[in-house]
């Protein structure tokens, strides 16, 4: 029965995503099976034909990508074209840690815009279940490669448009959205669109689907925001925590700022 459900979920149709019946006693097993399926279908990290384009240098790699458990970056891929996207790994890890304190380790957390896995892999280290979306197939291939290289078994990767999610049955506790700040023609992404959907519309949709969600969005530091729960600045970016029901409860400005400041000092 479990295998049957899982197989149905695996049949190419991604409408399975996050529609696993929350109350099903098979939920955990299905997740395990799905994770296993994803692992099995991933290409080997030593895939000889893989061509990921020009790669970033070692310095960028050490700044941006979290070291593996053997403290090296061996085998990890950081394409030069992604240097501008990836969040410094110490910041990503601290954000994951902070989120864990707020919502607990056993939660499902979604990275809506994974790119090659900067934030995804930090989440994977701290949460039991992580689902990561990346729309671009080239970045997705690197994302798969990197997640595999870290040997994370708790990450479900989805090469889909995140804005097409229409329901949550297995509800995530938190979603991280790190939208591209610039469009393909290098103009500023004024509405922080993901696939033509403005950020405000996406937030509204997500809170309609799941009102007790916590959403963390990475934005330029001068970007105007309203109705936020908490906001912290780091260099030229800010992290805005949208948390509708609890936004009074999490008054983390000072705490989160101190926390980021510490992580910045550490990374200098």
- Identity of the residue, 67 or 180, whose beta carbon is nearer to ligand SAM in the bound complex: 180
136 vs 205, beta carbon nearer ligand SAM = 136
Judged by beta carbon, residue 6 or residue 79, the one nearer ligand SAM is 79
User: Closest distance between ligand SAM and the C-beta of residue 12, in Å?
Assistant: 19
Residue placing its CB nearer to ligand SAM in the complex, 118 or 210: 118
> Residue 30 or residue 232: which is nearer to ligand SAM going by CB?
232
Q: Which residue's Cβ has the minimum distance to ligand SAM? A: 118
In the complex, the smallest distance separating the C-beta of residue 148 from ligand SAM, rounded to whole angstroms, is: 16
SS in 3 state form for the chain? CHHHHHHHHHCCCHHHCCCCCCCCCCHHHHHHHHHHHHHHHCCCCCCCCCCCCCECCHHHHHHHCCCCCCCCCCCCCCEHHHCCCCCCHHHHHHHHHHHHHHHCCCCEEEECCCCCCHHHHHHHHHCCEEEEECCCHHHHHHHHHHHHHHCCCCEEEECCCHHHCCCCCCCCCEEEECCCCECCCCCECCCCCECCECHHHHHHHHHHHCCCCEEEEEEECCCCCCCCCEEEEECCEEEEEECCCCCCCCCCHHHHHHHHHHHHHHHC
**How far from 95 is each of 99, 101, 169, 258, CA to CA, in Å?**
6, 10, 25, 12
Could you tell me the smallest distance in angstroms from the CB atom of residue 181 to ligand SAM? Answer: 7
Nearest approach, Cβ of residue 91 and ligand SAM (Å): 9
Q: What is the gyration radius of the CA atoms in the chain, in angstroms?
A: 18
In the bound state with ligand SAM, the residue whose beta carbon lies nearer, of 2 and 81, is 81
List of residues contacting ligand SAM (CB under 6 A):
85-87, 112-113, 115, 118-119, 133-136, 139, 161-163, 178, 180, 194-195
CB of 134 to ligand SAM, least distance (A): 5
Least separation in angstroms between residue 172's CB and ligand SAM is: 15
């Amino acid at each position: 029965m479990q295998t049957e459900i899982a197989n149905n979920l695996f049949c190419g149709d991604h409408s399975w995503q996050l529609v696993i019946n929350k109350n099903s006693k098979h939920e955990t097993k299905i997740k395990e099976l799905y994770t296993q399926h994803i692992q099995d279908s991933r290409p080997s990290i030593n895939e000889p034909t893989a061509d990921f384009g020009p790669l970033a240098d070692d310095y960028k790699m050490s700044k941006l990508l979290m070291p593996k458990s053997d403290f090296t970056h061996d085998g990890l891929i950081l394409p030069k074209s992604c240097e501008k996207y990836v969040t410094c790994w110490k910041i990503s890890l601290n954000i994951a840690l902070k989120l864990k304190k707020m919502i607990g380790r056993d939660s499902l957390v979604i990275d809506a815009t994974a790119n090659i896995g900067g934030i995804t892999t930090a989440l994977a280290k701290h949460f039991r279940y992580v689902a990561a979306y990346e729309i671009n197939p080239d970045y997705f291939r690197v994302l798969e490669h990197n997640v595999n290289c870290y040997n994370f078994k708790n990450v479900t990767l989805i090469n889909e448009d995140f804005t097409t999610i229409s329901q949550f049955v297995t509800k995530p506790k938190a979603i991280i959205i790190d939208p591209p700040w610039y469009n393909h023609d290098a103009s500023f992404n004024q509405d922080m669109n993901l696939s033509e959907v403005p950020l405000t519309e996406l937030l509204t949709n997500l809170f309609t689907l799941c009102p007790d969600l916590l959403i963390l969005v990475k934005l330029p530091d001068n970007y105007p925001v309203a109705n936020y729960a908490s906001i912290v600045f780091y260099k030229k970016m800010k992290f805005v925590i949208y948390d509708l029901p609890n936004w009074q409860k999490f008054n983390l400005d000072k705490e989160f700022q101190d926390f980021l400041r510490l992580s910045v000092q550490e990374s200098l």
